[in-house]
Amino acid sequence: MRNVTYSMVVSLDGYIVGPDGSFDWGLPDEEVFRLATDEIRGVGVHLLGRRLYETMLYWETAEQNPSLDFSTLEFAALWKSLPKVVFSTTRSEVQGNARLASDGLAEEIERLRAEPTESDIAIGGASLAAEAAALDLIDEYRARVYPVLLGGGTRFFPHGERRVGLELIENRTFNSKVVYLRYRVVR
């Protein structure tokens, strides 16, 4: 069965964006960017909330920028070709290799898990991930922890009343002092 993974950059105090909505503190260096590219290679479909979808629209035309290096162009090509499902109550259309979700999150994931492939189902966007976590649909949490304290903003982990056991399956510290943590949900 396909895994549902939630992978984002996160501050040491647990936020994916700061109180002002900025995430410039989480821009990856080459080594961390390579990890993100490698993660995308294992993804068969990416589920996104509206805000993350709109942020990631940059990658739909990034290859048109002649100043980008090879690794950035490689990520852009992978992202552009990756099928995406956008969950939004305000958008009536999406572009590129994306479609609007036709059902609720649980129904979409159930349908995608039934497909005959082993590739991951990635989920992005704090609100969408919080909904998936509340429904016990996330199989892996992947955090690229940056050595910064933001003091507030949008949380990586949703506030919930449910305890979730996790098993560490990978960790790595990069030269930039970013720490990659990959946990499997213990069921």
pLDDT of residue 160: 73
184 is written with which tokens?
């499997």
User: In this predicted model, what pLDDT tens digit does every residue of 93-118 receive, in sequence order?
Assistant: 999 999 999 999 999 999 999 999 99
Residue 48 has pLDDT above 80, yes or no: yes
Residue 187 pLDDT class (50, 70, 90 cuts): very high
Beta-carbon count within 10 A of 48 CB: 23
Residue 44 pLDDT class (50, 70, 90 cuts): very high
Please give the residue range of the domain that contains residue 153: 4-186
Residue 87 backbone phi and psi in degrees, to 5: -100, 115
pLDDT of residue 113: 96
What percent of the chain is modeled with pLDDT above 90?
A: 88
Q: How far apart are the first and last CA of the chain?
A: 15
176 is written with which tokens?
């930039």
Whole-number Å distance between alpha carbons of 162 and 11:
22
Instruction: Report the amino acid identity of residue 13.
Output: D
3-state secondary structure of 81: helix
CATH number, domain of 48, equals 3.40.430.10
User: In this predicted model, what pLDDT tens digit does every residue of 65-103 receive, in sequence order?
Assistant: 889 898 899 999 999 999 999 999 998 999 999 999 999
Residue 12 pLDDT class (50, 70, 90 cuts): very high
What percent of the chain is modeled with pLDDT above 70?
A: 100
Instruction: Say if CB 37 and CB 118 are below 8 A apart.
Output: no
Interhelix angle 126-134/105-113, rounded to 10 degrees, is 80
Instruction: Say if CB 40 and CB 116 are below 8 A apart.
Output: no
DSSP secondary structure letters along 15-66: EEE-TTS--GGG---HHHHHHHHHHHHTEEEEEEEHHHHHHHGGGGTGGG-T
User: In this predicted model, what pLDDT tens digit does every residue of 113-144 receive, in sequence order?
Assistant: 999 999 999 999 889 999 999 999 999 999 99
Whole-number Å distance between alpha carbons of 61 and 68:
12
**pTM of the entire predicted model:** 0.93
Total domain count for the chain? 1
Q: Which residue in 67, 74, 11, 66 sits closest to 40, CA to CA?
A: 74
